Amino acid sequence: MAKKRKRRVNLKRLILVISIPVLIFILLISQWNRFRLISKGYSFSNQNIILKQEKEERQYYLENDKVEIDGYDLYENQHHYYDYNLYEKQSKKDKESVVSYIDSFYGLKDSLQELGYDIEICRDMMKMFDIEDFRMVINQNYTYEQVKPYYQTKGFIVEDLKQYIESNLEAKDAILSVSYPFIDSSNEIIREYNINTEKYDVLIKNGFYVDSQYEPDDLVEVNIPTAQDCENNQMREEAAKALETMAKDAKKEKLYILIKSAYRSYSDQQAVYDYYFTIYDPITAASLVAIPGSSEHQLGLSVDLTSQSVEDGQDFVFGDSDEYQWVIKHAHEYGFILRYPEDKTELTGTANEPWHFRYVGKEIATEIYENDWTLEEYILEHGFSYTLKIKE
């Protein structure tokens, strides 16, 4: 009898020993997501908010770094905190605007998904699309497959989407013809664009502007001689090295290239612009000098060249010199193009400047040279390699 009682006691102990780990395991499984959120630093109240969300949204919090929650609760919201954080970072808007945008988007989310726009696609589109743009897509019944070719092409402008689709042109051609017809300066400027890029093929001219505060962060002095009246011999580092090599090779041919003008700040260009309008009529002045913000010199990629023969009075202008004849044949080998040829003034919108050379890199320069193109024609052939934004 005592043995039976002892066996029962041992059995109970065994059951207890086994059941405790099992219960702990069950607890861990059932509360695993809560433990994961605790490890990320979410408070108990924030955990409750997250765990009540749909599985898809809940996973964002479990799989990514901690996101801010409390700051958005100053405003009535639908608890889409992961997207609030994402959109605030990319848009730089205040929290109230962020909450309004994201909550409005979620009201359209199902309709967009029916048209093939999954949440990750939409998050990317939020960089360009406002809520009315998303509504337009739904109202026009534009599927993602219809929009995708245009959206994935650099230079895409949301406001012009309907015209792109109605044009029946390939995406690049639709975008260039609808949004940027004035790449060819013989066409009217229909709007103005801000450009923020470090790419060497950037197109700057009337209608295409850099910010007044823009200054390249890799400007260096070009180590070649300068004209007596040269006030700045700085260029971006890669362009500077290429010009130094070109001048060195020209010197081997007893040709002496000098810099007359290189980088100009926005304020420097403003001074030049104002000066030209004091000595020429408005039409002539406008054809000879770039509007501040549209000058290639501000990019740090352009240089006005001269020669020692011009400095010594043997030649009147650089275009008359042997140096010019050599540079015009060889500049592309170093990554430079003659930016404003004599026979392309209607296209470029700028009078012939035989002294003005632009760095675009060897590959692009060679293609432009071999096809007798301008930078405009290169863009029209290949499209933009960077994004543009409508100037406000």
Regarding beta strands 302-307 and 234-236, do their DSSP bridges make them parallel or antiparallel, or are they unpaired? unpaired
- For the record, the structure tokens of 67 come out as 């996101």
On whether the CB atoms of residues 207 and 192 are closer than 8 A, the answer is: yes
From the list 115, 201, 188, 211, the residue with the least C-alpha distance to 154 is 201
Sign of CA dihedral 69, 72, 77, 81: negative
- Contact call for residues 261 and 306 (beta carbons, < 8 A): no
C-alpha separations of 352 from 52, 73, 319, 345 in Å: 68, 61, 10, 6
- Structure token digits, residue 378: 């290169």
188 assigned to active site: no
Residue type, 381: E
Structure tokens of 257?
A: 């290239």
Determine the Cα–Cα distance for residues 38 and 292; give it in Å rounded to an integer.
Answer: 55
Strand-pair category, 193-195 with 208-209 = parallel
User: Which of the following is catalytic: 215, 353, 381, 392?
Assistant: 353
Of 309, 303, 311, the closest CA to residue 331 belongs to 303
Catalytically active residues are 353
